[in-house]
Chain A
Amino acid sequence: MTPLVDYKKPKRFIANKLQPYSPRGLLLYLLPVALIPATIIALVKGNLLGIIVNASGFALFVYAVWCLRKGLQAETALAHNPIVRAPKWPLKMQAAIFTALATGLVAWLGARYSLLVALMFAGGAFLGMYLSYGFDHRQEKKIADAQGYSGDEILRMLEESSQVIRSIEQANKKIRNNELNRRIENICTIADRILAEIESDPRDIRRARKFLNVYLDGAKQVTEGYAQTHQQTQSGQLEQNFRNVLETIESVFQEQHQKLLEDDVFDLDVKIEVLTTQLKREGIL
């Protein structure tokens, strides 16, 4: 058995931390809370306009917060992950527009200010959103064409591979074995580094293509398969087989990364064939 290597939590080149518990943007959930009793009161009084204005105002605020949180998460992912693309729509801008719209609507028809004053309320809310959270950074990530692939194709390949790595991480959460968890985590870290390496030097794409297409998918199938199977049956042999495969994957991933760093023209096709054979022999593929 090869010893465990490099388990000191190396710095991730690609982090996709979405920070689901970040409190940023939650203020907007609190501010329109008064619209809930306002809607109930309008309901009790049978005031149809009041019901529509207060309920739709509240819905618009909630949608604005959802957009804002998504925009903030995308911004964090974009800052940390060189492979992530900016969202199609400017989410933070959308949040500011919906907040302004909801504020103007509630001020005009709910609080019964004049239209001019309501517009000032809307403008103030829009400015407040801009000052508090800013707007979206829209600069597109550009990868140079290389080895007969367009930059877009390379970026798409990297995105797909990044998704595969995230799937491996998800499957890892279902496995209740600290040692295996650490090994899989390490494999994901190295895989992320390889992607970052390709992103910084797209000429590596040809040599890494097989890694992206075959190896990473193999690692995903193995991990997901084990995560599913080991919940149903506790087999020592299966665990040992899985451990062996992880060791091989880990060492070949490291080798692949090293080759990319050294700019070596040697292809890892032979090693990939060896691994595929091993996966089949161990009964995992």
Chain B
Amino acid sequence: MSQFFRHILGFILLVATVGLATCQSMVKAEPVTDTETVAPVTMVKS
């Protein structure tokens, strides 16, 4: 494998793995949304 393609492949792998893991980690740590503050629905007997 030529040196150039080796570097390109390494670059793609690094961007894909490190980039995806860190961005996903940011998305999962999303800020507080309104849905979390909504009061639980209570069942009312009719």
Contacts and interface: CB of A to CB of B under 8 A. Distances in A.
Contact of B7 (A44, A124, A127, A132): A132
Given A127-B13, A128-B13, A131-B7, A41 B18 contact: no
Contacts, number: 110
Contacts of A118: 21
Interface stretch (A103-111, A135-143, A192-200, A245-253): A103-111
Interface residues of A, number: 41
A35 interface: yes
B10 to A, nearest CB: 3
B20 A121 contact: yes
Q: Which has the most chain A C-beta neighbours within 10 Å: B18, B24, B26, B28?
A: B18
A53 interface: yes
Instruction: State which size class the interface on B falls in.
Output: 20 to 34
B42 interface: no
Interface in A25-78: 27-28, 31-35, 37-39, 41-42, 44-45, 47, 50, 53-54, 57, 61
A82 B31 CA distance: 55
Contact of B6 (A103, A113, A131): A131
A132 B14 contact: yes
A87 to B, nearest CB: 22
B23 interface: yes
B46 interface: no
Given A41-B31, A45-B29, A121-B17, A106 B9 contact: no
